[in-house]
Amino acid sequence: PLFWLDINISKKSLTKIEYIVKAKSQFKNKSIANNVEFHLPVPADVDSPHFQTYIGTVKYYPDKDMLIWKVKQFQGQKEYIMNAQFGLPSVVSNENKDLYYKRPVNVKFEIPYFTVSGITVRYLKIIEKSGYQALPWVRYITQNGDYQVRIS
Protein backbone atom coordinates (compact mmCIF):
# COMPACT_ATOMS: atom_id res chain seq x y z
CA PRO A 1 0.00 0.00 0.00
CA LEU A 2 1.09 3.56 -0.64
CA PHE A 3 0.06 4.62 2.87
CA TRP A 4 0.59 2.40 5.90
CA LEU A 5 -1.74 3.21 8.79
CA ASP A 6 -1.28 2.13 12.39
CA ILE A 7 -4.39 3.02 14.37
CA ASN A 8 -4.45 2.54 18.13
CA ILE A 9 -7.83 3.10 19.80
CA SER A 10 -7.89 2.98 23.57
CA LYS A 11 -10.42 3.84 26.23
CA LYS A 12 -8.60 5.98 28.78
CA SER A 13 -11.53 5.76 31.20
CA LEU A 14 -15.25 5.08 31.07
CA THR A 15 -15.77 8.59 29.70
CA LYS A 16 -12.74 9.05 27.41
CA ILE A 17 -11.52 7.44 24.19
CA GLU A 18 -8.22 8.18 22.45
CA TYR A 19 -7.07 7.62 18.87
CA ILE A 20 -3.38 7.54 17.97
CA VAL A 21 -3.00 7.39 14.19
CA LYS A 22 0.41 6.89 12.57
CA ALA A 23 0.45 7.39 8.81
CA LYS A 24 3.55 6.46 6.82
CA SER A 25 3.98 7.02 3.10
CA GLN A 26 5.59 4.09 1.32
CA PHE A 27 6.49 5.66 -1.99
CA LYS A 28 9.74 7.33 -3.11
CA ASN A 29 10.90 10.24 -0.97
CA LYS A 30 11.16 12.47 -4.05
CA SER A 31 7.42 12.12 -4.66
CA ILE A 32 4.76 14.12 -2.84
CA ALA A 33 1.13 13.15 -2.35
CA ASN A 34 -1.29 16.07 -2.56
CA ASN A 35 -4.64 16.56 -0.83
CA VAL A 36 -4.34 13.48 1.39
CA GLU A 37 -7.41 12.72 3.52
CA PHE A 38 -7.84 10.03 6.15
CA HIS A 39 -11.52 9.40 7.00
CA LEU A 40 -11.66 7.64 10.39
CA PRO A 41 -14.90 6.28 11.89
CA VAL A 42 -15.68 7.20 15.50
CA PRO A 43 -18.44 6.07 17.87
CA ALA A 44 -21.78 7.80 17.29
CA ASP A 45 -22.07 9.16 20.81
CA VAL A 46 -18.69 10.91 21.26
CA ASP A 47 -18.43 14.56 22.22
CA SER A 48 -15.88 17.27 23.13
CA PRO A 49 -13.21 16.45 20.51
CA HIS A 50 -9.59 17.48 21.05
CA PHE A 51 -6.95 17.01 18.32
CA GLN A 52 -3.16 17.27 18.12
CA THR A 53 -1.08 16.95 14.97
CA TYR A 54 2.06 18.54 13.58
CA ILE A 55 0.91 18.49 9.97
CA GLY A 56 -2.46 19.14 8.39
CA THR A 57 -5.84 19.79 9.98
CA VAL A 58 -8.30 17.54 11.77
CA LYS A 59 -12.04 18.07 11.90
CA TYR A 60 -14.85 16.10 13.52
CA TYR A 61 -18.08 15.53 11.56
CA PRO A 62 -20.77 14.37 14.02
CA ASP A 63 -23.37 13.91 11.27
CA LYS A 64 -21.12 11.29 9.61
CA ASP A 65 -19.66 9.82 12.85
CA MET A 66 -16.24 10.51 11.38
CA LEU A 67 -13.11 12.52 11.85
CA ILE A 68 -11.15 13.67 8.81
CA TRP A 69 -7.42 14.36 8.91
CA LYS A 70 -6.39 16.45 5.89
CA VAL A 71 -2.75 16.86 4.85
CA LYS A 72 -2.07 19.23 1.94
CA GLN A 73 1.30 17.67 1.00
CA PHE A 74 2.60 14.34 2.31
CA GLN A 75 6.18 13.60 1.27
CA GLY A 76 7.32 10.07 0.45
CA GLN A 77 9.01 7.95 3.15
CA LYS A 78 7.68 10.20 5.94
CA GLU A 79 5.65 9.32 9.02
CA TYR A 80 3.25 11.63 10.80
CA ILE A 81 1.16 11.15 13.93
CA MET A 82 -2.26 12.49 14.86
CA ASN A 83 -3.84 12.22 18.32
CA ALA A 84 -7.55 12.61 18.92
CA GLN A 85 -9.42 12.45 22.21
CA PHE A 86 -13.17 12.32 22.63
CA GLY A 87 -15.51 12.29 25.59
CA LEU A 88 -17.94 9.39 25.95
CA PRO A 89 -21.35 9.59 27.62
CA SER A 90 -21.44 8.41 31.21
CA VAL A 91 -24.40 6.14 30.43
CA VAL A 92 -23.31 3.39 28.03
CA SER A 93 -25.62 1.13 26.06
CA ASN A 94 -24.19 -2.19 24.88
CA GLU A 95 -26.00 -2.07 21.55
CA ASN A 96 -23.84 -0.69 18.68
CA LYS A 97 -20.96 0.02 21.08
CA ASP A 98 -18.22 -1.45 18.87
CA LEU A 99 -19.84 -0.89 15.47
CA TYR A 100 -17.28 1.78 14.49
CA TYR A 101 -14.50 -0.86 14.68
CA LYS A 102 -16.08 -2.65 11.73
CA ARG A 103 -16.11 0.43 9.49
CA PRO A 104 -12.98 0.92 7.35
CA VAL A 105 -10.74 3.98 7.18
CA ASN A 106 -10.96 5.63 3.76
CA VAL A 107 -7.86 7.27 2.26
CA LYS A 108 -7.92 9.83 -0.55
CA PHE A 109 -4.81 11.17 -2.27
CA GLU A 110 -3.17 12.22 -5.52
CA ILE A 111 0.51 11.73 -6.46
CA PRO A 112 1.60 13.64 -9.58
CA TYR A 113 4.38 12.32 -11.85
CA PHE A 114 4.19 8.87 -10.26
CA THR A 115 2.96 5.47 -11.44
CA VAL A 116 2.41 2.63 -9.00
CA SER A 117 3.16 0.00 -11.63
CA GLY A 118 6.30 1.73 -12.88
CA ILE A 119 5.05 1.61 -16.48
CA THR A 120 6.35 4.52 -18.54
CA VAL A 121 5.82 5.69 -22.10
CA ARG A 122 9.18 5.48 -23.85
CA TYR A 123 8.19 6.78 -27.25
CA LEU A 124 5.34 8.99 -28.41
CA LYS A 125 4.90 10.20 -31.96
CA ILE A 126 2.21 12.69 -32.92
CA ILE A 127 1.19 13.00 -36.56
CA GLU A 128 -0.74 16.21 -37.20
CA LYS A 129 -1.80 16.80 -40.81
CA SER A 130 -2.78 20.45 -40.36
CA GLY A 131 0.80 21.44 -39.57
CA TYR A 132 0.14 22.19 -35.90
CA GLN A 133 3.35 21.74 -33.93
CA ALA A 134 2.43 19.31 -31.12
CA LEU A 135 4.79 18.47 -28.30
CA PRO A 136 4.95 14.83 -27.23
CA TRP A 137 4.39 14.95 -23.46
CA VAL A 138 2.90 12.43 -21.04
CA ARG A 139 1.63 13.40 -17.60
CA TYR A 140 1.61 10.69 -14.95
CA ILE A 141 -0.69 10.96 -11.95
CA THR A 142 -1.71 8.40 -9.33
CA GLN A 143 -5.08 8.87 -7.66
CA ASN A 144 -6.87 6.82 -5.07
CA GLY A 145 -9.61 4.56 -6.29
CA ASP A 146 -11.50 2.80 -3.54
CA TYR A 147 -8.71 2.77 -0.94
CA GLN A 148 -9.79 1.41 2.44
CA VAL A 149 -7.90 0.20 5.50
CA ARG A 150 -9.47 -2.01 8.16
CA ILE A 151 -9.10 -1.13 11.82
CA SER A 152 -7.68 -4.12 13.69
Q: How many CB atoms are located within 10 Å of the residue 141 CB?
A: 11
Query: What is the model's pTM?
Result: 0.83
Q: What is the pLDDT, as a whole number, of residue 84?
A: 96
In a domain, 130, yes or no: no
Instruction: Give Cα separations from 28 to 111, 120, 133 (angstroms).
Output: 11, 16, 35
In a domain, 129, yes or no: no
Q: What are phi and psi of 110, to 5 degrees?
A: -150, 125
In a domain, 136, yes or no: no
- Residue 24 belongs to domain with CATH number: 2.60.40.1170
In a domain, 67, yes or no: yes
Q: What is the pLDDT of residues 124-141, one digit of tens each?
A: 888 878 888 888 788 888
Provide the residue range defining the domain that includes 94. Answer: 3-115+142-149
**54 residue type, one letter:** Y
